[in-house]
Structure 1
Amino acid sequence: MIRLENITRSFMLGKENVHVLNGISLTIESGEFVAIMGPSGSGKSTLMNIIGCLDKPTEGEYFLASENVSHYNDKELARVRNQSIGFVFQQFHLLPRLSALKNVELPMIYAGISKKERQARAEEALIKVGLSDRMNHLPNALSGGQKQRVAIARAIVNQPKLILADEPTGALDSKTSIDIMDQFSKLNEEGVTVVVVTHESEVAQYANRTIMVRDGLIQSPTLIDRGMLQ
């Protein structure tokens, strides 16, 4: 599903070339549930951005579903994101003047799906995450957990094979966090590949594999048993 070969990423900060990723090689198989952990500044968010085709590596090769996306232009990367990847972020990123239903429809508008099909699929996705009675509510009328469920519904509505979640429970209380992580577990059980970036060991326990990143490198061993995080 995901194969990174010697990925580096550097940025110019003034006159200094700052290296954030320093040669990462990684494989994530289809159907895995993987957590990426690391301290602040470790490079885990930059790694997530490259996996999500939100950024391009400075050097190295990235294969997503056997497709080498390393050197794609912005238009090609946008196509991959829309067709193959669902995103869930810490701050939800819902449009405040649109209902839950309309927010979920957005990715399908960009995909050119008809209005009738958009509505039917958006309703189905919201029912799936337990929001059948909140479809027409605006985001400010929803709790934090409900907003994140809308974000999950939006992420899955185009039926992607890969879900990327960046600190998805960071703005939620512990009980709501459990509910949200259970949603990701259900999606994974249905065959969706799930990759979660987190600094919380409680969240990482839901994954089958935890990848530790420090100083732009993957620490060895990359496979950490759930029991070691308890």
Structure 2
Amino acid sequence: MIRLESIRKSYKLGKEDVDVLKGIDLTINKGEFTAIMGPSGSGKSTIMNIIGCLDRPSSGDYFLNEKLVSEYDDKALARVRNQSIGFVFQQFQLLPRLNAWKNVELPMIYAGLKKKEREERAKEALEKVGLADRMYHLPNELSGGQKQRVAIARAIVNQPDLILADEPTGALDTKTSVQIMELFTMLNLEGTTIVMVTHEQEVAVYAQRQIHVRDGLLNRNEQVVMDEGERLQ
């Protein structure tokens, strides 16, 4: 599903170029649950942004479902983000004046779905994440875990092939983090590909595969692959 070939990314800092990614080669197959780990500044979030079509590589090729998306224009990238990728962020990114239902409905408005279908899908997504009784609550009326469930419902409502989760438990307590990771595991077992950035080993163990990034490079010696029995223990 995902193939990165010789991906490099640099940014201008004054008159100097700062290399963040220094030649990333990575393949993630459909249905995998992959955790990308590494210290702050290692490049893991930059990899996530490129996979999510939120940023472009300075050089190299990015293929998503065998299509070379690294050469798409902004309009095409926006379409990929809306139709093929669901995003879950550490700080939830919910609109404060919209209730849970309306927050989940937003991606479908951008996708051009009709009102009746939007309403049905939003309801189904919220039921799936266990928030059938919180549909009409505003974000400030929800706990952190409930906000993240709304964010996950929003991420899955357009039925994407891929979910990208950036530190999805970073703002949650331990018990709530476990509940959220169990929800991700359920979605993965149903066939959704998940790529998650985290610095927490106790979160990464839910993934089938752990990839470590250091100084803009993948550390091949630190890749960990777990079988289904190990990660569900």
TM-score scaled by length of structure 1 = 0.97
Map Cα deviations across residues 87-135 of structure 1 (whole Å, 9 max, x no partner): 0000000000000000000000000000111010000000000000000
Letter in 2 for 1:135: M
Q: Tell me the distance in 2 between the aligned counterparts of 1:68 and 1:136.
A: 40
Q: Tell me the distance in 1 between the aligned counterparts of 2:102 and 2:120.
A: 11
Q: Tell me the distance in 1 between the aligned counterparts of 2:84 and 2:126.
A: 20
Letter in 1 for 2:100: A
> Secondary structure of the residue that 2:24 maps to in structure 1?
strand
How many residue pairs were aligned?
229
Q: Tell me the distance in 2 between the aligned counterparts of 1:28 and 1:218.
A: 14
Between 1:136-145 and 1:218-227, the stretch displaced more is 218-227
What residue is the counterpart of 1:210 in the other structure?
210
Q: Which runs of no fewer than 5 residues in structure 2 stay unpaired?
A: none
What is the RMSD of the two structures over their aligned residues, measured on CA atoms? 1.3
> Secondary structure of the residue that 1:137 maps to in structure 2?
coil
* Deviation beyond 4 Å, 4+ runs, structure 1: none
Letter in 1 for 2:210: T
- Residues 76-225 of structure 1: pairs in structure 2 closer than 5 A: 76-221=76-221, 223-225=223-225
- 1:172 Cα deviation from its structure 2 partner: 0.1
- 1:221 Cα deviation from its structure 2 partner: 2.5
Map Cα deviations across residues 170-203 of structure 1 (whole Å, 9 max, x no partner): 0000000000001100000000000110000001
Letter in 2 for 1:161: D
Q: Tell me the distance in 2 between the aligned counterparts of 1:74 and 1:180.
A: 32
- 1:72 Cα deviation from its structure 2 partner: 1.0
Is residue 2:63 matched to residue 1:63?
A: yes
What residue is the counterpart of 2:14 in the other structure?
14
Q: Tell me the distance in 2 between the aligned counterparts of 1:102 and 1:10.
A: 38
> Secondary structure of the residue that 1:46 maps to in structure 2?
helix
Q: Tell me the distance in 2 between the aligned counterparts of 1:99 and 1:76.
A: 30
Q: Which runs of no fewer than 5 residues in structure 1 stay unpaired?
A: none
* Sequence identity percentage: 72
Map Cα deviations across residues 21-47 of structure 1 (whole Å, 9 max, x no partner): 000000000000000000000000000
- 1:225 Cα deviation from its structure 2 partner: 4.1
TM-score scaled by length of structure 2 = 0.96
- 1:222 Cα deviation from its structure 2 partner: 5.2
Q: Tell me the distance in 2 between the aligned counterparts of 1:149 and 1:225.
A: 27
Q: Tell me the distance in 1 between the aligned counterparts of 2:4 and 2:170.
A: 27
Letter in 2 for 1:68: L
Q: Tell me the distance in 1 between the aligned counterparts of 2:73 and 2:225.
A: 38
